Amino acid sequence: MKLKQSLSCYRIVGIKEGHKLTFTEKLRDVFPSATIKMTSIALFLLMATISTASLDCPTEWDEFDDSCYKVMTSFVHSQRLNWDHARAVCLGYGGDLVSMENKREEEFIKSLSSDFKNDLLWIGLNDRVNEGQFVWSDGTYFNSSVYSKWKNGEPSHTGNQDCVGLRNNLWNDQPCSWVRFYICERPKGKPACPDGWFLNGFSCYKAIEQAKSWSNAKQDCHASGGYLMKIDDASEQDFLEVYLIITGINQAAKYVWTGLNDIEHEGIFTWEVDDSNFEFSKWGSEQPDNYHNQDCVRVGAIQMFGLWDDFQCDKSHLYMCEKPANGLSCYRCSSNMSFADCTTKQEIVNCTFPRNYCFKQKNSTGDKNDQESAFYKGCTSADQCRQKEKSSMECCVDTLCNTDISCYQCSSNISFADCAKNQTRVNCTLPKNRCVKATYTSKDDNGTVTYHKGCTTTDQCSETAKKSFVECCSHDMCNKGNFADVFFFSLLLRQL
């Protein structure tokens, strides 16, 4: 089920608005041989390089810099997977197959995979699109002249060897259809889905490994804050079929329950979550048939793979729970005049993964002879945050960078009280998007102390976060009046 009305996502200028990325879209763009049907253009799910040092990794994941890593040896019922299906698991965790940018990260991966010296582990490197042109599946730039770790004689390019695995810390290209363990990498921070749930579009899914009757399965899903899976369209059906494969359920169970049923009115099938009628279906031959009061709908796994049929509700099957993915609210607006004008038109919108960052951008719309600017605020992805220059765009995981900031500005060589006598309020402009209050001493022989208030950048605030003579804030609380004179001066003396 997709939350078509309550959640909407938008890309930044130059990318069509309103496009919802699904699990199958992410797969299709990199997997040209995939059998998943879809028509929309995919956007790679790239990892953020924005600092998230204060955020943790999920349980059983290992932390390195701004990412979390895990060697995957099982997923529900599955163990070793081919490269496509391994990547599908990583995508569902909000990440991708691991990429390596430098020697430091390579050394970390070496330590992480040290217990698997006899196994080849899938990584994200591949040349599936253009033979001999290797790329990382998450979009990380691959420059072999700067960093590579090929085994002697590799890559060999023989026998459709388009996917790369890691063994004993060396790379080897192999056929993508071979099944292997694999390494996932995902950004730090709160994921769109709780631990154990799998992301697709605007929903999180979880395969429950204990067989239950339809009503007990329904109660269990409700207890977890969800509902029995609702299949809205062909894209979600495609996802379900892939999910049955990558979890190994297609080898472990004959059928799984869905939320569709005609318990209330025979022959009128509705979804249990909202009592809506189905708009898409994939019934098996001569189904539904209501044989022996069959009122609940299941989907074939081992048998009748992907096809629907009605069955007795008191029989036990595995089942799929679904619930909405976590979202983020940001301000959204655009203006050709200023951020102030943009703000008069702004509205709050819900963003969803992978567009789970707020942004604020000043973008030039013309050439050198036409430097008019457009002002934007809204939701964007980690990929866009990483690629855009900091001078034109700022990203954050809340509305902090997405809110207009005004600060008091002044300078004095006497005190903050003297500074405040002449202070004026100014609007900060990117990349300066924080208020600051600081004291600093000149390097000349006089050692003149300056008391300063004004605007600064997020990076400068981060760099001086532990300095007692600098205070930053996202509004003018740390920046107004002279209330902190004694406090700041005493801290300055401690520093000296």
Q: How confident is the model at residue 382 (pLDDT cuts 50, 70, 90)?
A: low
Question: Residue 487's beta-bridge partner residues?
Answer: none
- Is residue 470 within 8 A of residue 438, CB to CB? The reply is yes
Question: Pick the residue with more confidence: 451 or 462?
Answer: 451
- Per the listing, tokens 């960052």 go with 357
- pLDDT of 216 > 90? The answer is yes
Question: Pick the residue with more confidence: 338 or 476?
Answer: 338
Instruction: Name the packing angle between helices 83-92 and 234-246 (round to 10°).
Output: 110
Q: Do 23-187 and 203-324 come out as alike in CATH topology? A: yes
Q: For the domain 203-324, what is the CATH superfamily, name and number?
A: Mannose-Binding Protein A, subunit A (3.10.100.10)
Identify which of 124, 111, 121, 101 has the alpha carbon closest to the alpha carbon of residue 167.
121
In this structure, which topology does domain 406-495 adopt according to CATH? CD59 (2.10.60)
- pLDDT of 18 > 90? The answer is no
Highest mean pLDDT: which of 39-43, 321-325, 327-331, 468-472?
Answer: 321-325
Question: Pick the residue with more confidence: 75 or 482?
Answer: 75
In this predicted model, what pLDDT tens digit does every residue of 335-379 receive, in sequence order?
A: 888 888 888 888 877 776 556 678 888 877 555 555 567 888 888
- pLDDT of 248 > 70? The answer is yes
Q: How confident is the model at residue 82 (pLDDT cuts 50, 70, 90)?
A: very high
- Per the listing, tokens 């005004």 go with 406
Distance, CA of 448 to CA of 225 (rounded, Å): 61
Distance, CA of 294 to CA of 262 (rounded, Å): 9
% of the chain at pLDDT higher than 90: 24
- Is residue 204 within 8 A of residue 325, CB to CB? The reply is yes
> Span 398-407, mean pLDDT?
69
pLDDT at 400: 62
pLDDT at 331: 83
pLDDT at 182: 95
Least confident of 127-131, 345-349, 396-400: 396-400
**What 3-state DSSP class applies to 487?**
helix
In this predicted model, what pLDDT tens digit does every residue of 410-424 receive, in sequence order?
A: 999 888 888 888 888
The mean pLDDT of the chain is 76
- Is residue 312 within 8 A of residue 335, CB to CB? The reply is no
For residue 460, what are its two tokens?
């400068």
The four Cα atoms 284, 245, 187, 151 give a dihedral, to 10 degrees, of: -150
Least confident of 2-16, 153-167, 234-248, 334-348: 2-16
Q: For the chain, what are the domain ranges? A: 23-187, 203-324, 327-396, 406-495
- Is residue 218 within 8 A of residue 272, CB to CB? The reply is yes
User: Among 3.40.50.980, 3.40.50.10540, 3.10.100.10, 3.30.70.100, what is the CATH number of 23-187?
Assistant: 3.10.100.10
CATH of domain 327-396: 2.10.60.10
> Span 196-223, mean pLDDT?
90
- pLDDT of 193 > 60? The answer is yes
Phi-psi region of 432 (alpha: psi -120 to 50; beta: other; left: phi over 0): beta
Q: What is the pTM of this model?
A: 0.54
> Span 197-210, mean pLDDT?
86
Pairing mode, if any, of strands 181-187 and 121-126? Answer: parallel
In this predicted model, what pLDDT tens digit does every residue of 426-437 receive, in sequence order?
A: 877 666 778 888
